[in-house]
Copies of this chain bind each other. A is one copy, B any other.
């Protein structure tokens, strides 16, 4: 057990941020552990824990000033400002030529300068936080180059425009780089890395695929070129080799499927076999091969990344422990006291409620010793990532107003009735009937008035349950119809959509569907990452496309460019676009297809495949189980049937009030906890769980070994002696 702790620290492949910081900073209080902790110590420890919790890998300076700057750097306000200015910078394309809303060049240039200034300030801030030599080695500082290039381009462009020359704002393609490389774009950078890693394998399959396309094109040329066939518009059919290659490439996307083979089909029935064979090999086999290669690579590299992430996280926690530790008698390892622990947790997560914090302490300090060892401390970052719902036990309004009536026989019967499963089912049916009514013609007065009935039914239910906020969502969606009258089409549209969403509640209440829905929800954060990725690529392609094809085609402004690119992604509709038979349009189309359809969509599908696999096969994490056990031990658990962990509850209210009154006789504690086990706060936490089963067990060995934890007997972390 003693050896296990220090083993991973000796490894060479520790992420260099983690290894680096350990070396250069003098660990405060490492030598004199009995000294009272200072405020800056807690700040430092809190930063380590917070970095571990959110998997930030910034190796900041540990001087008191740098720590304060780093706290500011991680504050939400500068982050939001940064994202705002990135958004402004990106949306400048709306106002630049070819513009959706034309603005004078000086206006957009001025705004862009402002954006660049903000980015520079952020970068300077970052440079102050981390050690100087680290800063210059950081690959993220490609941003500096992007900013400089943009400045140069702006000067050139301004000068050329002033002298009425033709000028191209080529630096606009660099803008998404900022989105990728600001330090918050971690998920996005990871996605790019996993694309880069998969590229060599994809490349080899792609070469084979192109070889197959070329061979088939050659066959098509020999089989069909000499027959003097004509296409529907009278031009010769399949006589030019490069034309055939392009046509067959597009056939892989099935965009020109029936048209391209029609002349051959009209000539002889048997040629269809050629095209069917082609589609089968190149569309089905090769496209599956692409998916397979991407899937394998994605899994392999992501697993390695997550492993490093876990290792880095533990390093940070060990460092935080070193800051907070106090030594005990000879021969026993250092510990962290309850008070210090409390202070750090409060700093890390100011919003955490006292009971929730105490619960976490109870999980860590399993033996009620008043202090915890290193192993127990290390798991704090993961514990903080487990979302715990705190439920305030609040009496039914009627119970406080008129307790005699509330506790009477009929009232109790009513309570039991309301608690019954049938009650839920009845209301689900009511929602379904309501949905049918929504679908019917609303001009009909009978149906329009029926909405009143449904509203009354929902209000009745809420009164019975004593819920006030829980169904705000449901009610607002009904109210405007009744109150506002048919004034504005737009408001009504939104209201209708909200009313329809009510139906999701019904589906989510069916257990069979919940696994699937939960998986889909889990994929949520990752979808945002992929959304950014797509945005970056669309932006670059839109910029290039607008320069190449503006005026000729659908690339008339940024909005229509984006819509065209969506079309290309979804339907591969190169028709109407590739009618610009110019070579550049074709190359543009093929490049876009390769990048988006072959690479990115396949990575997305891989992610979904893996997520479903995890949902179907992996059990709950050990730490979650421990937390749940502790909650049950302390008798703070919420009975499962009282609050179902379903989608709509999460949608409707941010902090759940338990509609008590359901069990007026039971003597429940005032606060109850529940783990929102299926939800993850961060993408990293989800990723970590995705690969948990495959991860090197030693990466977790320390965190989960209660025996070693209890005895508190491990050596000092090796980085102390480094």
Contacts and interface: CB of A to CB of B under 8 A. Distances in A.
Interface of A: 204-205, 207-208, 211, 215, 218-219, 221-223, 241, 254, 257-258, 265, 269, 272, 276, 279, 283-285, 288-289, 291-293, 295-296, 435, 438-439, 493, 496-497, 500-501, 503-504, 507, 512-513, 516-517, 519-520, 523, 527, 559, 563, 566-567, 570-571, 573, 576, 601, 604-605, 608-609, 611-613, 616-617
Copy count, this protein chain:
2
A197 to B, nearest CB: 14
A368 B284 CA distance: 51
List the 7 closest A-B pairs by CB distance, nearest first.
A292-B612, A288-B608, A222-B496, A257-B571, A254-B571, A292-B609, A288-B605
Contact of A566 (B276, B435, B513): B276
Given A520-B289, A571-B258, A295 B609 contact: yes
Main secondary structure of the interface of A (DSSP, over half): helix
Contacts of A523: 285
Given A517-B208, A520-B289, A567-B257, A215 B503 contact: yes
B283 A570 contact: yes
A245 to B, nearest CB: 10
B204 A513 contact: yes
B292 A219 contact: no
Contact of A258 (B272, B503, B573): B573
Contacts of A296: 612-613, 616-617
Given A435-B218, A523-B285, A605 B496 contact: no
Nearest to A497: B219
A300 to B, nearest CB: 9
13 contacts: A207-B513, A218-B435, A218-B438, A219-B497, A222-B438, A222-B493, A254-B570, A254-B571, A258-B576, A276-B566, A285-B608, A291-B609, A292-B609
Contacts of A438: 218, 222
A151 B428 CA distance: 51
Contacts of A611: 292
Contact of A219 (B254, B257, B496): B496
A429 to B, nearest CB: 16
B292 A567 contact: no
Nearest to A287: B605
Contacts of A507: 208, 211
A289 B215 contact: no
B435 A289 contact: no
Contacts of A285: 520, 523, 527, 608
Contact of A291 (B279, B503, B517, B605): B605
A205 B507 CA distance: 12
